[in-house]
Amino acid sequence: MTLVETAVLREGHEISRVIKGGWQLAGDHGSVERTTAVRDMEAFLDAGITTFDCADIYTGVEEMIGEFIADLRARRGADVANRVCVHTKLVPDLARLGDLRPDEVTAIIDRSLKRLRVERLDLVQFFWWDLNLGNAVRALDVLKDLKQQGKIRNLGVTNWDRGEVAPFLEAGFDIVSNQVQYSILDRRAALGLAGWARDRDMQLLCYGTLAGGFLAENWLGRPDPGFAFENRSLVKYRLIIDEFGPWPLFQELLGVLKSIGDKHAVSLSAVATRWVLDQPQVAAAIVGARYARHLPDTLGVFDCKLDEEDQKMLDEVIAQADGPTGDVFALERDRNGRHGRIMKYNLNTKPDDQVHGAAPGQ
């Protein structure tokens, strides 16, 4: 049986180093076999992937995980159900930042507790679309009070670099983690955030590890698809590939990952995830595996140890990349840029919120 690696964010808060992601179970990512997805969560837990990621704005996902936990508790008892570690997020709508009240922040947390059918949230990851609007410190202070009340175990943030996180640390908040996009294609977290976080006892939880499925063998040898996707996740990560370099360089990277995977008898996706886990200050990689049939490939990361030759081969491709450059989420934060235009900013009040602006490739 594969031994799943673990990490400790704070005393009593141990996580699996691969986290089962929830974004792919929400809307805009293709059809979801809901019953199967909920049922198959148990296979991930039993395999050692104990940590599940979701958010208040991932439509229906907190409820799905809550249904799984409740069923597990009924069939196998509280001890087994308590092995499930849930990381959720609090992402107030952009349109509400200016007038969001403290009692509304509390209500969002209470709603997540109800949806997840738990008495305490293991990790609440905080995000504020625009720190120039409203009072983000006051909102996070509410979460600090809820932590003291026992409704939250720990607090994290997401999609912030040093400049965004620093004021909150200076205000006395204990931020245990920062969830950021980090992959072999997108290495912005290594440009300063990782070292800074190390000095502040803050660990990185990394999403986009497989670039929405682009870092997989089925894309090897395929022509450039452009940006004509119905799946918004693929549009997002196709834009990241564009920042990385031209499509032929991406194909070269896939070829190298495949070669290394063949050497270690794992998939190229496992190699890509292993690369992320080996980066400084990374506690875990979030992988959006929906069903149990994806579990063997997901577990392959723990059977793969990259050696110096592997790293040299990957470094030679990375050295040719154009980017992405700058702070984490800086490209996405520009609401008029091609990365920002595909975002949805008001999903709490408008679950059918529409993306803005022109086509993403423009």
Query: pLDDT by residue (tens digit) across 281-293?
Result: 999 999 987 777 8
Give 213-228 as a DSSP string: GTSSGGGTTPPP-TT-
Q: What are phi and psi of 287, to 5 degrees?
A: -120, 125
Write the pLDDT tens digit of every residue in 105-123: 999 999 999 999 999 999 9
Question: Which tokens go with 355?
Answer: 């993306």
Which of the four pLDDT bands, split at 50, 70 and 90, describes residue 29?
Answer: low
Q: How far is CA 19 from the centre of its chain?
A: 8
What pLDDT score was predicted for residue 30? 56
**Residues of 285-314 as b/e, b for ≥16 C-beta within 10 angstroms?**
bbbbbbebebbebbbbbbebebeeebeebb
List of E strands, 144-281? 152-158, 175-181, 203-207
What pLDDT score was predicted for residue 126? 97
Instruction: Please name every residue paired with 121 in a beta bridge, in sequence order, or none if there are none.
Output: 152
Question: Which tokens go with 338?
Answer: 């091609």
Neighbours of 332 (CB within 10 A): 19
Task: Please report, for residues 77, 119, 179, 293, 304, the alpha-carbon distance to residue 16 in angstroms, rounded to integers and kept in the order given.
Answer: 21, 21, 15, 19, 16
Write the pLDDT tens digit of every residue in 33-75: 878 888 999 999 999 999 999 999 877 899 999 999 999 999 9
What pLDDT score was predicted for residue 289? 77
The continuous run of DSSP H or E covering 126 comes out as strand 121-126
Instruction: Report the alpha-carbon distance of residue 213 to residue 252 in Å, rounded.
Output: 17
What residues contact residue 318 under an 8 Å CB cut-off, 6+ apart? 184, 187
What pLDDT score was predicted for residue 239? 96
Tell me what the mean pLDDT of segment 260-280 comes to. 97
With H, G, I as helix, E, B as strand and everything else as coil, classify residue 253: helix
- Is the model's pLDDT at 356 over the cut of 70? no
What pLDDT score was predicted for residue 357? 40
Tell me what the mean pLDDT of segment 239-243 comes to. 97
What pLDDT score was predicted for residue 351? 63
Write the pLDDT tens digit of every residue in 195-233: 999 999 999 999 999 999 999 999 999 999 998 887 778
Instruction: Report the alpha-carbon distance of residue 251 to residue 214 in Å, rounded.
Output: 10
Instruction: Report the alpha-carbon distance of residue 114 to residue 67 in Å, rounded.
Output: 11
Instruction: Report the alpha-carbon distance of residue 261 to residue 318 in Å, rounded.
Output: 17
Write the pLDDT tens digit of every residue in 300-326: 999 999 999 999 999 999 999 999 999
Instruction: Report the alpha-carbon distance of residue 185 to residue 216 in Å, rounded.
Output: 13
Contacts 24+ apart (CB under 8 A), 189-197: 189/279, 189/328, 190/279, 190/280, 191/325, 191/326, 191/327, 192/161, 192/162, 192/327, 193/161, 193/162, 193/327, 193/328, 194/279, 194/280, 194/281, 194/282, 195/280, 195/281, 196/162, 197/281
Tell me what the mean pLDDT of segment 4-21 comes to. 97
ω before 324 within 30° of 0 (cis)?
yes
Instruction: State the amino acid at position 86 in one-letter form.
Output: V
Q: How much of the chain exceeds pLDDT 90, in percent?
A: 83
Strand bridging mode 6-10 / 13-16: antiparallel
- Is the model's pLDDT at 27 over the cut of 90? no
Inter-residue contact 143 to 152 (CB < 8 Å): yes
Q: Which burial class, exposed, middle or buried, applies to 15 when counting CB atoms under 10 A from its CB (0-12, 13-18, 19+)?
A: buried
- Is the model's pLDDT at 267 over the cut of 60? yes
